[in-house]
């Protein structure tokens, strides 16, 4: 699907937004704007990370939304082409927000470069929103780690930790290269990005530095949560081993007495005692009670 929008008093800025395009639509736009065939093939098969490529008549930028949806962007004189595959994910990029920010900034001098920077600005805000959500989720997992645990909650904690770790890894893989892309733009390595667009690009570069810092901080916090989870599991295992050892010792005391008097030697005077049986039971009970009290005092039971 092709969405065409024009901005400025005379429509001097053209934005072509292709959503889930078919091959015919891609070929039509490529022919209209003379897009580089190599980058256009990459847009067909989608890239693995953000990138920037410069050509004589246009620049090719790849970025990802917070939902990891790829957005291919072609910037030329007076036009911007975006290609994206929308699958309805949460936290996906909102083009309407891009238009609102562009309108506020453009005034009487809209440019395609400013439109591109407004788009990336929205993406960065989405990164911050997602990192805030991840931070809340990490805190929730930490609380769950130190709460009373069962086998079910242990599995749930492990699943949540793994999911957060994987998401932070994927997020880092898209924000780190985008930081380098914005660094190149802010150093005026892309033709056509000047004036207010360049100022905005440098501001976005500073914000991307902060995004990378936040992601790294959250990875460290998540690593601490994983270590805490392993420590809690180890402590729980030690507690179980203590309890098994304590109960085994208690049972062993009674078993030892029963074993001694079950050896069936011919000369065992206690066997002929009238009170031999109740005394043996009393010894078992007394020894078990003493061991139970000892282990109880040591918090093994």
Beta strands in the chain (DSSP E): 2-7, 13-19, 51-54, 59-64, 70-76, 79-84
Is it the case that residue 142 has pLDDT exceeding 80?
A: yes
Residue 78 sits at φ, ψ, to 5 deg, of 85, 5
Is it the case that residue 24 has pLDDT exceeding 70?
A: yes
Summarize pLDDT for 81-129 with one digit per residue, the tens: 998 876 655 556 778 888 888 888 887 778 999 999 999 999 999 999 9
What pTM value is reported for the model?
0.76
**pLDDT at position 103:** 86
Pairing of strands 51-54, 2-7: unpaired
**pLDDT at position 200:** 92
**pLDDT at position 88:** 57
Is it the case that residue 248 has pLDDT exceeding 80?
A: yes
**pLDDT at position 121:** 94
> C-alpha angle 39/30/88, rounded to 5°?
75
- The mean of the pLDDT values for the chain is 83
Work out whether the CA dihedral 115, 68, 29, 185 comes out positive or negative.
positive
Summarize pLDDT for 144-191 with one digit per residue, the tens: 887 766 666 778 888 888 899 999 999 999 999 999 999 999 998 888
Q: How confident is the model at residue 271 (pLDDT cuts 50, 70, 90)?
A: low
Summarize pLDDT for 46-92 with one digit per residue, the tens: 666 899 988 888 899 999 988 888 899 999 988 999 988 766 555 56
- Across the range 11-16, mean pLDDT stands at 85
Go through the domains of the chain in sequence order and give each one's CATH number: 2-235 (1.20.58.340), 236-297 (1.20.58.340)
**pLDDT at position 261:** 72
């Amino acid at each position: 699907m092709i969405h065409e929008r024009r901005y400025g008093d005379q429509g001097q800025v053209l934005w072509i937004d292709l959503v889930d395009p078919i091959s015919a639509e891609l070929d039509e736009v490529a022919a209209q704007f003379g897009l580089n065939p190599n980058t256009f093939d990459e847009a067909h098969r989608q890239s693995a990370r953000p990138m920037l490529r410069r050509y004589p008549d246009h620049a090719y930028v790849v970025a990802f939304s917070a939902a990891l949806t790829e957005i291919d962007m072609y910037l030329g004189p007076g036009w911007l082409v975006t290609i994206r595959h929308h699958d309805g994910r949460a936290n996906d990029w909102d083009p309407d927000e891009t238009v609102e920010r562009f309108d506020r900034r453009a005034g009487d001098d809209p440019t395609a470069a400013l439109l591109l920077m407004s788009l990336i600005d929205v993406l960065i805000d989405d990164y911050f929103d997602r990192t805030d959500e991840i931070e809340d989720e990490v805190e929730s997992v930490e609380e769950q780690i130190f709460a009373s645990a069962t086998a079910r909650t242990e599995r749930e904690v492990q699943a949540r930790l793994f999911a957060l770790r994987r998401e932070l890894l994927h997020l880092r893989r898209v924000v780190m290269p985008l930081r380098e892309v914005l660094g190149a733009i802010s150093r005026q390595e892309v033709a056509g990005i000047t004036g207010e667009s360049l100022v905005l690009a440098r501001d976005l570069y500073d914000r991307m530095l902060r995004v990378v810092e936040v992601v790294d901080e959250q990875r460290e916090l998540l690593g601490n949560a994983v270590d805490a989870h392993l420590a809690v599991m180890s402590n729980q295992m030690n507690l179980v081993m203590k309890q098994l050892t304590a109960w085994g010792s208690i049972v062993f005391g009674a078993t030892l007495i029963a074993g001694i008097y079950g050896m069936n030697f011919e000369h065992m005077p206690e066997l002929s005692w009238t009170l031999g049986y109740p005394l043996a039971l009393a010894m078992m009970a007394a020894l078990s009670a003493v061991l139970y009290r000892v282990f109880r005092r040591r918090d093994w039971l």
